[in-house]
Amino acid sequence: MKKQIEIVVPPENINDKDFLYKSASEKLKLDPSEITAVIPVRRSVDARSSNPVFRILCNIFINENPTEEEFIIEYKPVKGDKKVLIVGCGPAGMFAALRLIELGIKPVIIERGKDVQSRRKDLRAIQQFHTVNPDSNYCFGEGGAGTYSDGKLYTRSTKRGDVKKVLHILVQHGAQRDILIDAHPHIGSNKLPGVVKAIRETIIRCGGEIHFNSRVTDFILSERSRLKAGKEKKITGVVVNDEKEFIGDAVILATGHSARDIFYLLHKRGIKIEPKPFALGVRIEHPQSLINEIQYHTKEKQENLPAASYNLACEINGRGVYSFCMCPGGIIVPTATSAGEIVVNGMSLSRRDSPFANSGFVVSVDEKDWRKYDKEYPFSALKLQQEIETLSFELAGKSTSGGQSAPAQRVTDFVKGIQSSSLPKSSYIPGLTSAPLHESASGGLPSFITKNLKKALFIFNKKMKGYFTEEAQIVSPESRTSSPIKIPRDKETLMHIDIEGLFPCGEGAGYAGGIVSAAIDGENCADAVSRVIN
Residues 295-332 have pLDDT tens digits of 999 888 778 999 999 999 999 999 999 999 999 999 99
Q: What pLDDT is stored for residue 252 in this prediction? A: 98
Q: What pLDDT is stored for residue 445 in this prediction? A: 95
CA dist 292 and 286 (Å) reads 10
CA dist 77 and 106 (Å) reads 9
Q: What pLDDT is stored for residue 227 in this prediction? A: 44
CATH class for the region spanning 2-62: alpha beta
Residue 140 burial (C-beta neighbours within 10 Å; 0-12, 13-18, 19+): buried
Length of the chain: 534
Residue 441 pLDDT class (50, 70, 90 cuts): confident
CA dist 117 and 201 (Å) reads 14
Q: What pLDDT is stored for residue 80 in this prediction? A: 87
Residue 54 pLDDT class (50, 70, 90 cuts): very high
Residue 100 pLDDT class (50, 70, 90 cuts): very high
Q: What is the DSSP letter of 100?
A: H
Q: What pLDDT is stored for residue 224 in this prediction? A: 65
Task: Give the rounded percent of residues in the chain with a pLDDT score beyond 70.
Answer: 97
Residue-wise pLDDT for 355-405, tens only, equals 999 999 999 999 999 999 999 999 999 999 999 999 999 999 865 555 899
Q: What is the DSSP letter of 404?
A: T
pTM above 0.75, yes or no: yes
pLDDT at 193 over 90: yes
- Among 30-44, 214-228, 476-490, the least confident range: 214-228
Q: What is the mean pLDDT of residues 167-176?
A: 96
Q: What is the mean pLDDT of residues 27-36?
A: 94
Residue-wise pLDDT for 271-289, tens only, equals 999 999 999 999 999 999 9
Q: What is the mean pLDDT of residues 181-207?
A: 95
Domain coordinates in residue numbering, the chain: 2-62, 83-272+497-533, 278-478
Mean pLDDT, rounded, of the chain: 94
Residue 148 pLDDT class (50, 70, 90 cuts): confident
Q: What pLDDT is stored for residue 464 in this prediction? A: 97
Just give the CATH number of 83-272+497-533: 3.50.50.60
Q: What pLDDT is stored for residue 69 in this prediction? A: 73
Q: What is the mean pLDDT of residues 57-81?
A: 90
With the CA atoms of 179, 185, 189 and 190 taken in that order, what torsion angle do they form, in degrees rounded to the nearest 10? -40
Task: Give the rounded percent of residues in the chain with a pLDDT score beyond 90.
Answer: 87
DSSP H helical ranges for 363-427: 380-397, 411-416
Q: What pLDDT is stored for residue 196 in this prediction? A: 97
Q: What pLDDT is stored for residue 534 in this prediction? A: 86
Q: What is the mean pLDDT of residues 232-240?
A: 94
* Buried residues in 252-270 as b, exposed as e (16+ CB within 10 A): bbbbbbbbbbbbebbeeee
pLDDT at 67 over 80: no
Q: What pLDDT is stored for residue 263 in this prediction? A: 98
